[in-house]
Amino acid sequence: MGIDIKSVNKRFGGFEALRDVNLSVAPGEFLALLGPSGSGKTTLLRIIAGLEFADEGQVLFDGHDVSERSVRDRHVGFVFQHYALFKHITVAKNIAFGLEVRPRASRPSRQDIDERVQRLLQLVQLPGLGGRYPSQLSGGQRQRVALARALAIEPKVLLLDEPFGALDAKVRKELRRWLRKLHDEMGITTVFVTHDQEEALEIADRVVVMSKGVIEQVGPAQEVYDQPATPFVYDFLGNTNRLPASVRGGVANVAGLLVPAAEVPDGPGIAFVRPHEFDLRPSGTYGGIEGTIAHVFANGPILRIEVNVPAVHVAVDLQVEVEAMRQGVDGLSLTRGARVALAPRNIRVFPDR
Amino acid sequence: MDGAPRSNDATTEGPFLRFGLSGIALLYLALFLVLPLVAVFVEAFAKGFGPFLAAITEPDALSAVKLTLIVAAISVPMNLVFGVAAAWAIAKYEFWGKSFLITLIDLPFSVSPVISGLVYVLLFGAQGLLGPWLQEHDIKIIFAVPGIVLATIFVTFPFIARELIPLMQEQGTSEEEAALSLGASGWQTFWRVTLPNIRWGLLYGVLLCNARAMGEFGAVSVVSGHVRGLTNTMPLHVEILYNEYNFTASFAVASLLALLALVTLVLKSVLEWRYGDEIAASARH
Amino acid sequence: MSWSTARLRQPSVIPGFRLTLGFSLAYLFLIVLIPLGALLLKAGELGIGGILDIAVDRRVLAALKLSFGASLVAALINGVFGLMLAWVLVRYRFPGKKIVDAIVDLPFALPTAVAGITLATLYAKNGWVGSLFGPQTWVGSLFGPKGLMIAYTPLGVIMALTFVGLPFVVRTVQPVLADFDAETEEAAASLGASRLSTFIRVIFPALLPALTTGFALAFARAVGEYGSVIFIAGNIPMVSEIAPLLIVTKLEEYNYAGAAAIAVVMLAISFVLLLVINLLQRWNQARMRA
């Protein structure tokens, strides 16, 4: 099923949670809503589910307006951050819940319900645990039960609110890859909320980056990472160096280095370069920013190098972080105080507001 | 959540149900609590202010007020010292039989007030276990002030302790350990570290303990002997006047006790609103 | 357990253990345990047979039945309305809510004798409430030619016991309901459950332990209640005489052993009932936690 969000606005008292949000989710797509806390990503997910209602705008499921429909009638599978399992009933009863509360006319038979529960337990790899209570399961197991419970009502959309947020790092990694595989087998349209960029970039087809109630960028994971559309996305996704620049006539001067900046108006600007997008060259090489090595931290095969760029070309001293593979810098002397040139492979300039 | 609840909001009830439930619940409260409270004051002033004033200033009434104050002034501090000591022992140490001790401290709450008085009669009364010995030495406990004080201490026994135990358990021992490591003595640690941490909880307990001590009827009634002007507390005086069909005077004295209850409720609420975090939430009752 | 920790107290650097525990135990024994021991001793003089003889006396039996029966009804009433009140106080917003919340504790603060004479006056034939149910009123005539008598009947006893037990259920359910996880309710709704079925299947089971505790507390309080009941009860033997009053009567007749026997029987019944409730609770919690 496809989902369309049209011009959605939402306020909580004086706080603007969502501002004119438009988004389309293709049928069968796996979409991540990514952003820091307070960015509106969870509010957007809850509005899609019908747990929250937009002040203005529409939510369409396959072209039908469901904006006023209650969560009960939307048939979405919702997985909560803290699982929200019913503690007083068994795992099997939890999974069967959505079927058992149906009106008699549309309720499957006892036998059908039992069979479906068994199938779902198999699917989430918890066969034989149907008789346990939620408190007897680990966090990862609980989240899989929550998923099975949501899938039991055969929803056309699966919505997950920070589904792995409460799990430890190792389980989180396993579970998200498993979820991706499950999605590929079932093909159900899935939207999940996360503040973990690694999670979003690794498993989502497309990533929606949000900040302060606004969508900053939508695109395939790799594209969003490689070509951030706004300074916020640059900052939020991965490490980055912010270098002051001055722009004149479509050319930016970044600490003495001239870079094309065709769409940036004249005036102060900010250039972004990720630490691993620098090449380290011998001092004096053309096309590099000259600096002095301040610190070298060796982390396995990766070197993290802090380079001081003196305030010759810029207003203040800069410290630039560079990441390089150890074998890529053979022949350079990387001791403290040594002079090097930093040649950016990828640099993007934005106006400084 | 903001604004009026919506009809399609899945986690609240429709407006009819909401109003219906609120209406029934509030009506129940009004009928069972507010109406009696209003009635006390209406009856007290049924014949005007003069008879009311006369009823609360006649000598027997005044002596009842005095006795009530004396009883509270002895029993509350006694239970205060006990409450602090018991809470200290229970919260700061791990020892065998601790949970059993907590159960025993709560015991007086599950005993009928009448039985609370009865046990002292059985112990100190004329035919009680120690009765003959007491008579020989001319010591009067039952049908005298000491009996009233003992019965009051019994029924208010757990109030302060059960307020402080969860509070001090929650606070743990690290601050005391820090004080001791800085060279404070045990008493200094108690006065300077522990007491400031528990003061609002302590006050809360004292408030509840005092309300019960001044208002206790059943236990006191059994041990008092109802001697007018001598062993009558205010609640007993209310009973005597009521049984003599002197309703206005009875309600006049009762209205003083009702006023005490209202003041207690107000102070208690103020403590809960302002210092809720410093009064262990689990101890609310 | 290793040998080093198998002692009676774990070591602590905080001083005062002997002093505080010693004082607490001494006080506990003097004020509570020795007097209660005297009760058992006195009742023990009669022997089990003697106690039972007193307990099955018609008048005593009627009083025990009234005390426990009326307490049960009152606790049930408070269970229903207390839950409703807790719900309204936690879930809804209305003007004066803080005052309403504060006034719930009135029965804890109001001396029982004051409650007693007031309730007796209100529910008497010519009282504010009692007169509404007299034979001359429409409501009263539904109950026969004499109308509905509240004061001086078992019904009056139930009214008084409802009053004294009112705060217990509210105060035990309120915090549990306030802490109840909103996500759990949303989960039920997202699975298609109606509001009613969410309440029955999800919310109520979560509140049940607290509700049971509140019920048990209200019941236990009602069984022992004296001051607020004796004025409204009328104290007619075999009809509206409660067990605690019978203890007082026996005492006034200097029948100490008889009074002690009734007290012991009351305590024993209450103890068994509370034990059963406690075990049920524990079994329920163990099932959910395990």
Candidates B117, B140, B136; CA nearest to C256 is B117
Measured CA to CA, the distance from residue A57 to residue A23 in angstroms comes to: 12
Measured CA to CA, the distance from residue B18 to residue B6 in angstroms comes to: 12
Show residues of chain C in contact with B218, CB under 8 Å: 112, 225-227, 244
CA atoms within 13 A on the CB side of C238: 2
pLDDT number for residue B5: 53
pLDDT number for residue C288: 66
What digits encode the pLDDT tens for the residues A212-225?
999 999 999 889 98
Separation in Å, CA of A55 to nearest CA in chain B: 11
A100 or C2: which leads in pLDDT:
A100
pLDDT number for residue B284: 44
Is C110 inside a domain boundary?
A: yes
Measured CA to CA, the distance from residue A238 to residue A274 in angstroms comes to: 8
Measured CA to CA, the distance from residue B279 to residue C177 in angstroms comes to: 20
B226 and B245 within one domain: yes
Residues 6 or more apart whose CB falls under 8 angstroms from that of B126 comprise: B135, B142, C254
pLDDT number for residue B1: 38
Q: In chain A, where does the domain assigned CATH 3.40.50.300 lie?
A: 3-232
pLDDT number for residue A279: 84
Q: Which of residues 230-249 of C touch B (CB under 8 A)?
A: 231, 244-245, 247-248
From C186, C191, C205, residue closest to A97, measured CB to CB? C191
Return the exposure string of B185-219: e unless at least 16 CB atoms fall within 10 Å of the residue's CB, then b.
eeeebbeebbeeebebbbbbbbbbbbbbbbbbbbb
Separation in Å, CA of C192 to nearest CA in chain A: 4
What digits encode the pLDDT tens for the residues A47-97?
999 999 999 999 999 999 999 998 988 999 999 988 899 988 999 999 999
B55 and B40 within one domain: no
Show residues of chain B in contact with A55, CB under 8 Å: none
Is B6 inside a domain boundary?
A: no
Angle at C206 between CA C203 and CA C207, to 5 degrees: 85
Is C225 inside a domain boundary?
A: yes
The interface predicted TM-score (ipTM) is 0.91
Show residues of chain A in contact with B6, CB under 8 Å: 53
Residues in chain C: 290
Q: Is the pLDDT of residue C234 over 50?
A: yes
Report the residue of chain B nearest C265, measured CA to CA. B115
Please list the residues that pair with A151 across neighbouring strands.
none
Q: What is the mean pLDDT of each run of 10 residues along chain B (285 residues)?
A: 56 86 94 94 94 94 95 97 96 90 90 95 89 90 93 96 92 89 90 92 95 96 85 94 94 96 95 83 43
From B25, B89, B119, residue closest to C36, measured CB to CB? B119
From B1, B2, B10, residue closest to A71, measured CB to CB? B10
B29 and B116 within one domain: no
From B2, B8, B10, residue closest to A68, measured CB to CB? B8
Measured CA to CA, the distance from residue B253 to residue B257 in angstroms comes to: 7
Show residues of chain A in contact with C187, CB under 8 Å: 78, 80, 84-86, 146, 149
Candidates C39, C37, C1, C5; CA nearest to C265 is C39
Across the A:C interface, residue pairs with CB atoms under 8 Å apart total 77
Can you give the CATH number for the domain in which B167 is found?
1.10.3720.10
CB contact under 8 A, B94 and C15: no
- Mapped onto helix, strand or coil, the DSSP state of residue A259 is strand
Residues of chain C in Cβ contact (below 8 Å) with chain A = 181, 183-184, 186-194, 197, 201-202, 205-206, 287-290
B93 and B25 within one domain: no
Is B9 inside a domain boundary?
A: no
CB contact under 8 A, B254 and C247: no
Q: What is the mean pLDDT of residues C245-256?
A: 91
Answer positive or negative: Cα dihedral of A17, A22, A26, A31. negative
Measured CA to CA, the distance from residue C220 to residue C224 in angstroms comes to: 7
- Mapped onto helix, strand or coil, the DSSP state of residue A57 is strand
CB contact under 8 A, A53 and B9: yes
Q: How far is CA C36 from CA B107, B108, C29, C31, C278, in A?
A: 10, 10, 9, 9, 23
CB contact under 8 A, B113 and C94: no
pLDDT confidence bin for A316, thresholds 50/70/90:
low
Measured CA to CA, the distance from residue B26 to residue C100 in angstroms comes to: 8
- Chain-centre distance of CA A245, in angstroms? 29
pLDDT confidence bin for A300, thresholds 50/70/90:
confident
Range of the domain at B39: 16-45
- Mapped onto helix, strand or coil, the DSSP state of residue B106 is helix
From B10, B254, B269, residue closest to C189, measured CB to CB? B10
pLDDT number for residue A312: 55
CB contact under 8 A, A136 and C290: yes
Is B55 inside a domain boundary?
A: yes
Measured CA to CA, the distance from residue A301 to residue A322 in angstroms comes to: 14
Q: What is the mean pLDDT of residues C218-240?
A: 93
Is B134 inside a domain boundary?
A: yes
Task: Report how many domains make up chain C.
Answer: 1
Measured CA to CA, the distance from residue C193 to residue C195 in angstroms comes to: 7
Measured CA to CA, the distance from residue B175 to residue C127 in angstroms comes to: 58
Q: What is the mean pLDDT of residues C69-98?
A: 95
B24 and B70 within one domain: no
pLDDT number for residue B276: 82
Q: Is the pLDDT of residue A17 over 90?
A: yes
Q: Which CATH fold topology does A239-351 show?
A: OB fold (Dihydrolipoamide Acetyltransferase, E2P) (2.40.50)
Measured CA to CA, the distance from residue B82 to residue B202 in angstroms comes to: 12
Residue C218 near residue C66 (C-beta atoms within 8 A): no
CB contact under 8 A, C14 and B180: yes
- Lowest-pLDDT choice from A10-14, B2-6, B10-14, C106-110: B2-6
Please list the residues that pair with A273 across neighbouring strands.
A241
Show residues of chain B in contact with A71, CB under 8 Å: 10
Residues 6 or more apart whose CB falls under 8 angstroms from that of B254 comprise: B40, B43, B44, B238, C111, C113, C114, C117, C118
- Chain-centre distance of CA B30, in angstroms? 23
B156 and B23 within one domain: no
Measured CA to CA, the distance from residue C224 to residue C160 in angstroms comes to: 12
How many other CB atoms are there within 10 angstroms of residue A253's CB atom? 19
Separation in Å, CA of C172 to nearest CA in chain B: 8
Candidates C30, A252, C270, A287; CA nearest to B124 is C30
Measured CA to CA, the distance from residue C242 to residue C276 in angstroms comes to: 23
Q: Is the pLDDT of residue A320 over 50?
A: yes
Angle at C208 between CA C205 and CA C213, to 5 degrees: 165
Backbone φ and ψ for C56, nearest 5 degrees, come out as -95, 5
**Pairing state between β A64-65 and A76-79:** unpaired
B36 and B89 within one domain: no
pLDDT confidence bin for C280, thresholds 50/70/90:
confident
CB contact under 8 A, B6 and A53: yes
Can you give the CATH number for the domain in which C114 is found?
1.10.3720.10
Is C6 inside a domain boundary?
A: no
Separation in Å, CA of A187 to nearest CA in chain C: 20
Q: Is the pLDDT of residue C33 over 90?
A: yes
Separation in Å, CA of B13 to nearest CA in chain A: 13
Q: Which of residues 190-209 of C touch B (CB under 8 A)?
A: 190, 195
Sequence letter at residue B261 = A
Q: Is the pLDDT of residue C139 over 50?
A: yes
Task: Report how many domains make up chain B.
Answer: 2
- Mapped onto helix, strand or coil, the DSSP state of residue C177 is helix
Query: What tokens appear for C148 in the block?
Result: 């509905």
From A49, A82, A87, residue closest to C190, measured CB to CB? A49
What digits encode the pLDDT tens for the residues A163-185?
988 788 888 899 999 999 999 99
DSSP per residue, A129-196: -TTS-GGGS-HHHHHHHHHHHHHHT--SEEEEESTTTTS-HHHHHHHHHHHHHHHHHH--EEEEEES-
C4 or B103: which leads in pLDDT:
B103
Is C131 inside a domain boundary?
A: yes
B125 and B104 within one domain: yes
Range of the domain at C186: 55-289
Candidates A101, A85, A88, A186; CA nearest to A139 is A85
B28 and B73 within one domain: no
Single pTM value for the model: 0.87
Measured CA to CA, the distance from residue A286 to residue B245 in angstroms comes to: 111
Give burial (CB, 10 Å; 0-12/13-18/19+) of A79: buried
Residue C164 near residue C107 (C-beta atoms within 8 A): yes
Separation in Å, CA of A236 to nearest CA in chain C: 29
**Pairing state between β A257-260 and A251-254:** antiparallel
Residue A60 near residue A6 (C-beta atoms within 8 A): yes
Residue of B19, B115, B150 for testing the chain C interface, max C β-carbons within 10 Å = B115
Separation in Å, CA of C244 to nearest CA in chain B: 6
Show residues of chain C in contact with B265, CB under 8 Å: 102-103, 105-106, 109
pLDDT number for residue A330: 67
Residue C192 near residue A106 (C-beta atoms within 8 A): no
- Lowest-pLDDT choice from A151-160, A273-282, C217-226: A273-282
B90 and B28 within one domain: no
Sequence letter at residue A18 = L
From C12, C38, C92, residue closest to B22, measured CB to CB? C92
Helix, strand, coil tally for chain B in percent (to 5): 75, 0, 25
Measured CA to CA, the distance from residue B273 to residue B204 in angstroms comes to: 12
Determine contact: A17 vs chain B, CB below 8 A: no
Measured CA to CA, the distance from residue B207 to residue C108 in angstroms comes to: 12
Residue of A11, A16, A46, A70 for testing the chain B interface, max B β-carbons within 10 Å = A70
B26 and B124 within one domain: no
Is B57 inside a domain boundary?
A: yes
Query: What tokens appear for C58 in the block?
Result: 């018609």
Q: Tell me the average pLDDT of chain A.
A: 89
Q: Is the pLDDT of residue C251 over 50?
A: yes
B41 and B52 within one domain: no
Q: In chain A, where does the domain assigned CATH 2.40.50.100 lie?
A: 239-351
CATH label, A3-232, candidates 3.30.70.360, 3.40.50.300, 3.20.20.70, 3.30.200.20? 3.40.50.300
pLDDT confidence bin for A262, thresholds 50/70/90:
confident
Q: Is the pLDDT of residue C122 over 70?
A: yes
Is C169 inside a domain boundary?
A: yes
pLDDT number for residue C6: 46
- Chain-centre distance of CA B191, in angstroms? 25
Q: Which of residues 206-245 of B touch C (CB under 8 A)?
A: 208, 211, 214-218, 221-222, 234-236, 238-239, 242
Residue A45 near residue A33 (C-beta atoms within 8 A): yes
What radius of gyration, in Å, describes the C-alpha atoms of chain A? Answer: 25
Residue C130 near residue C150 (C-beta atoms within 8 A): yes
Please list the residues that pair with A210 across neighbouring strands.
A215
Above pLDDT 90, what percent of chain A? 51
CA atoms within 13 A on the CB side of A342: 34
Q: Is the pLDDT of residue A307 over 50?
A: yes
Q: What is the mean pLDDT of residues A103-112?
A: 92
Give burial (CB, 10 Å; 0-12/13-18/19+) of C264: buried
Answer positive or negative: Cα dihedral of A273, A275, A280, A284. positive
